[in-house]
Amino acid sequence: MKNKVIIITGASSGIGLACAREFAQRGAKLALAARSAEKLVEIEHELKTNGTEVISVKTDVSVQDDCRHLISETLKAFGRIDVLVNNAGISMRAAFQDVDLEVLKQLMDVNFWGTVYCTKYALPSLLESKGSVVGVSSIAGFIGLPGRTGYSASKFAMHGFLETIRVENLKKGLHVLIAAPGFTASNVRKAALTADGSNQGETPRKEEKMMSAEEVAMHMAKAIIKRKRTLILTFVEGKLTVFLKKFVPGLLDKLSYNHMAKEPDSPIK
């Protein structure tokens, strides 16, 4: 990754922040994007202190002009783009019959359209560099998770979009990676939206038993370098789930229902 120019959306916390630090250690030049300009400035200062070439651009990926501006500022600073990591995302936790439809629209705007916008404007430079487009997805992009309709829908949409981009550019040297970290210790669940669109607050899951964001970032770096198609982390909630979906989908439905229904205050009864 030495001297590669990498854009990371959702870079102010969680997997995005861990990727910024991991890629910086590997010698990358970074363009960091998030809605919180204050947090970005802190991270930019931290990385510059350690010798990394980095810019930060306040970006709401659900806003098309913000994404265009992010790509423009990156090209202005570095002259090229080698890797785009579409990491910005939000989650939700509510049964479909209870959820406000605006919540689902917000999930699609950030998780799906944010990926589309950034990829659209970065694509010419990525084709020139024969670079990588990365979508940070979830097991929810492989199976429909009960209580997560908007989240699963947005990740399924992301998968379809990125797989099509891969095939369309098959002979142009573009690398497309779909990364599914599984449940990761980060603030994405604390910021998850409830039925009325308010933040969930305290996560119902035991964060200490999950994979760390730093571990996810390390695996992602290796997958980008090896130009892998898919990265599925964790065995039971990752690889085994995808296997069961393919061969015994009915059993997986029951297991998913029972698993999600056991969460504290689960919207699934």
Task: Give the residue numbers marked as catalytic.
Answer: 151
Give Dmax (Cα) for the chain: 53
How many Cβ atoms are within 10 Å of 93's Cβ, its own excluded?
A: 24
Quick one: residue 140, left, alpha or beta (phi over 0 = left, psi -120 to 50 = alpha)?
alpha
Q: Which two three-digit tokens encode residue 116?
A: 């589309």
Rounded Cα distance, 235 and 244, in Å: 12
Main-chain dihedrals φ then ψ at residue 50, nearest 5 degrees: -95, 10
**Would you say 205 and 189 are in contact if contact means Cβ atoms under 8 Å apart?**
yes
